[in-house]
Amino acid sequence: MTQWLTTVSELVTAAAVKAGLGHRLAAFDGDAWVWIWRHESKPDRTTEERLRIRPDSLNEGVEFELSAVAWMESQRAIAANRMVWSQFVRTVDLQEQSTGLLTALAHHLGEGRRSAVALGEHLDHLNKGRKEMVDDLRARGLLSG
């Protein structure tokens, strides 16, 4: 098990550098190893790329799952996430597929970053519309406060 984790960790680090993602957090959540790249895109908006990697239930391979996440810091209820990429790689193939996997992972990490930014921009739009609706209701006297 340690061998695949070492190989995968090196791949993730190299792919993140290639994708230009910068610093990351890494942790074990009880089920999978998780790498997180967090960006404060605006003072009130945060985006993340989350890469979860875990052995499959038969312990024959490794499952990769990448998602993009965005939320408003002041209103955590305004949030979104999107699955970007998922792939299974047999453990015995990790070394021999490492070059292709590195290229694919770097590509998908970049795609994850773009998806997270797009989600964040969409949340800005939703938040602006919500604020306008509240202001309109207050102007009509239908909402106090």
Mean pLDDT along residues 6-14: 91
Domains defined for the chain, CATH in brackets: 2-139 (3.90.1150)
Buried b (16+ CB within 10 A) or exposed e, 103-140: ebbbebbbbbbebbbebbeebbeebeeeeeeeeeeeee
Mind listing the pLDDT tens digit for each residue in 39-98?
Answer: 987 888 899 999 999 998 888 899 999 999 999 888 777 899 999 999 999 988 888 888
- The tokens of 7 are what? 């190989």
Distances (CA, A) of 5 to 30, 64, 68, 135: 15, 12, 23, 52
pTM, 2 dp:
0.83
Query: What does the DSSP 8-state code read for residue 120?
Result: H
- Residue 139 has what pLDDT? 87
Query: Predicted confidence band at 2 (pLDDT cuts at 50, 70, 90)?
Result: low
The pLDDT, as a whole number, for residue 136 is 83
